[in-house]
């Protein structure tokens, strides 16, 4: 789904967003909360997707080549 680099970028964007919007005192804004929540859920879903993917599929693909 997401590569390691993309996951790290999204994590940095979320951390920076929380910091900046907290300093500006607009974390209560609906749009800001929605964007940060979507980024958070994308990271969490990617984490579960990558860890639950069985490694046998990749080994089978390598053996068939």
C-alpha to C-alpha distance for 27 and 61, rounded to whole angstroms: 46
C-alpha to C-alpha distance for 14 and 43, rounded to whole angstroms: 10
- Give the per-residue pLDDT at 57: 60
CB 27 within 8 A of CB 18: yes
C-alpha to C-alpha distance for 42 and 29, rounded to whole angstroms: 20
- Give the per-residue pLDDT at 60: 59
- Give the per-residue pLDDT at 53: 80
- Give the per-residue pLDDT at 6: 92
pLDDT digits (tens, 9 = 90+) for 6-64: 999 999 999 999 999 999 999 999 999 999 999 999 999 999 998 888 776 656 566 66
What's the token pair of residue 5?
Answer: 């680099």
Instruction: Break the chain into its structural domains and give their ranges.
Output: 28-52
- Give the per-residue pLDDT at 65: 56
């Amino acid at each position: 789904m997401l590569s390691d680099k993309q996951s790290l970028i999204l994590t940095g964007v979320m951390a920076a967003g929380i910091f900046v919007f907290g300093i500006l005192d607009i974390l209560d804004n609906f749009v800001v909360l929605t964007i940060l929540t979507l980024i958070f859920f994308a990271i969490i879903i990617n984490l579960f997707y990558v860890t639950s993917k069985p490694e046998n599929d990749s080994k089978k693909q390598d053996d068939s080549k």
